[in-house]
Amino acid sequence: MELLPLVCLCLLSCSGETSAAGDGVRVVVKEDDDAVLPCSLSTKEDITRKAFDWRKDERRQEVYFYNSGTHSINSNTGQDEQFKGRVSHFQDQLKNSNASIKITKTKMADSGNYSCIFPNLQPRQTFNIELVVGQVLRDRTGENIPGAAPRPFIATLDQTNDWSLLQCEAHGDPLPTVEWKDSDNNTLHAEKPQISERGGRSYITVKTTVTKTDNYSCVATQEKFSHRIAAVTFVHLTGAASKPSVTTVKSDDGTVLQCVVRGASPKPKVEWQDSSGNILPVKDLKVTERGDSYDIVLQAALTKTDTFRCVVTQEEIGHKIYAEIYLTINGSSAGVITGFVVLSLLLVVVAVPAVLHLKHRIKKNRKKDPGSTPNTNDGTPDDELSATMIKK
């Protein structure tokens, strides 16, 4: 119950909303307001001498770390630049197992999924919180305003070490305007928006190409409601694995799948998968380290007709990319066809000279005695033997 006043205070001072979101909590605040991300153990024990660690998204950005009185503000813990000087905990609430933090002057790039981790507890405990920097829209009855745009959907369409093609899709009534922004709130150049209709609903899609590692926000705005909401993605370009090269090569055991990854950093995990997502056994793996980057060649046996996918994953930077290839295989029938062709060639090599030799003998004998029937040495007429050989 002692945590309740703190949460209520957050809801009032942050002009935001805290609600259940699956197994975690969703916190929604306006841009430039402060946000409190709640985290507390159910045991209500004193955690002053314990450790808790706050991290963000798959990239695992270091947001705030506390350990027995030492925290991100007075220690070098590798706190991400995005959060330096803007995050604090509630010292007087530690005795109540409260590990909540406050992020001041929130911006669109702060939106995302956060984890509050107690690494030294047995078992280790983790709490998940989603922060949405935007605006909670309610009408006078407390219901959501119909037509208000939900958070946009972001996808990475393609990526190399030098650039990434991002796509943002949003909908609402009226259709929102969409723009891309970097972590400094600069508006990025984007392709012409595309409008489409699906299931009786209008969608707006905007693409942009980025050329540096950063957090990027897709912002959807509906002026009618004074409504603005965003989704954020992190793009890591330097060293991020580009789309792998996939092909087949011949080996002593037959045809194998080959996937080649060049210049990836940090070192990625590379796997061959079939269309069902099953991981194929490794036939050969070669890893070449070049300074801080890695070249990887992975081979797997081709055993069936299927679509195969080479998946490259770099968990440290939250990056995953893949390439696909469709291949057919004839199994044992390929060997039968090959054997048949070889056997046919042997028959041609043996039979053709024999037939030509018999025809020559027939013509020679007929010139000597036109009225006789030439015979072979075994008493069989040459014409009959020749016909038999040709028939065979």
pLDDT in tens, 204-230: 999 999 988 788 899 999 988 778 888
Does residue 145 sit within a domain? no
DSSP state of 380: -
For residue 116, the number of C-alpha atoms closer than 13 Å in the C-beta half-sphere is 21
pLDDT band at 76 (very low <50, low <70, confident <90, very high): low
Q: Which of 209, 235, 261 is the last residue of a domain?
A: 235
DSSP state of 95: G
Same domain, 10 and 92: yes
Q: What are phi and psi of 161, to 5 degrees?
A: -70, -20
Beta strand 214-222 with 201-210: parallel, antiparallel or unpaired?
Answer: unpaired
Residue 223, C-beta contacts closer than 8 angstroms, at least 6 positions apart: 177
Same domain, 42 and 100: yes
Helix (H) or strand (E) holding 387: helix 382-391
Does residue 386 sit within a domain? yes
The CATH number linked to 173 is 2.60.40.10
Contact status, residue 136 vs residue 17, Cβ threshold 8 Å = yes
Count of Cβ atoms closer than 10 Å to residue 15 Cβ = 13
Dihedral of CA 7/13/14/15: which sign? positive
Q: Mind listing the pLDDT tens digit for each residue in 305-340? A: 999 999 999 887 778 888 999 988 753 323 322 223
Helix (H) or strand (E) holding 335: helix 333-368
Q: Which of 235, 266, 289 is the last residue of a domain?
A: 235
Does residue 12 sit within a domain? yes
Give the distance from CA 246 to its chain's centroid.
Answer: 16
Backbone φ/ψ region at 239: left (φ over 0), alpha (ψ -120 to 50), beta: left
Residue 54's pLDDT is 93
* Cα separation, 83 vs 337, whole angstroms: 67
Q: Which of 212, 235, 258 is the last residue of a domain?
A: 235
Q: What are phi and psi of 296, to 5 degrees?
A: -130, 135
* Cα separation, 116 vs 52, whole angstroms: 7
Does residue 141 sit within a domain? no
Express as a percent the part of the chain with pLDDT over 90.
33
Asked if the model's pLDDT at residue 365 lies above 80, the reply is: no
Same domain, 96 and 202: no
Does residue 89 sit within a domain? yes
Q: Mind listing the pLDDT tens digit for each residue in 43-56? A: 878 999 999 999 99
Same domain, 40 and 11: yes
Same domain, 56 and 116: yes
DSSP state of 153: E
Contact status, residue 36 vs residue 14, Cβ threshold 8 Å = yes
Q: Could you tell me the strand order of the sheet in which 101-103 lies?
A: 35-37, 101-103, 87-89
Same domain, 108 and 197: no
Same domain, 32 and 123: yes
Same domain, 100 and 22: yes
What's this model's pTM, rounded to 2 decimal places? Answer: 0.44
Does residue 161 sit within a domain? yes
The stretch 15-38 carries a mean pLDDT of 70
Which residue range forms the structural domain that includes residue 44?
4-133
Does residue 204 sit within a domain? yes
Same domain, 292 and 352: no
> Alpha carbon of 117 to those of 40, 67, 101: distances in Å?
10, 12, 12
Please, what's the b/e burial string for 336-360 (b: 16 or more CB within 10 A of its CB; e: otherwise)?
eeeeeeeeeeeeeeeeeeeeeebee
Same domain, 13 and 113: yes
Q: How far apart are the first and last CA of the chain?
A: 100
> Alpha carbon of 169 to those of 40, 147, 154, 176, 334: distances in Å?
35, 16, 7, 10, 48
The stretch 93-97 carries a mean pLDDT of 90
Same domain, 222 and 249: no
SS3 190: coil
Does residue 321 sit within a domain? yes
Residue 3's pLDDT is 39
Angle at 358 between CA 354 and CA 359, to 5 degrees: 120
Contact status, residue 107 vs residue 185, Cβ threshold 8 Å = yes
Residue corresponding to tokens 């070490």: 161
Same domain, 370 and 260: no
DSSP state of 279: B
Residue 75's pLDDT is 55
pLDDT band at 21 (very low <50, low <70, confident <90, very high): very low
> In this structure, which amino acid lies at residue 309?
R
Whose CA is closest to 116, among 95, 96, 136, 97?
Answer: 97
Question: What is the number of domains present in the chain?
Answer: 4
Whose CA is closest to 305, among 334, 283, 284?
Answer: 334
Whose CA is closest to 381, among 364, 367, 354, 362?
Answer: 362
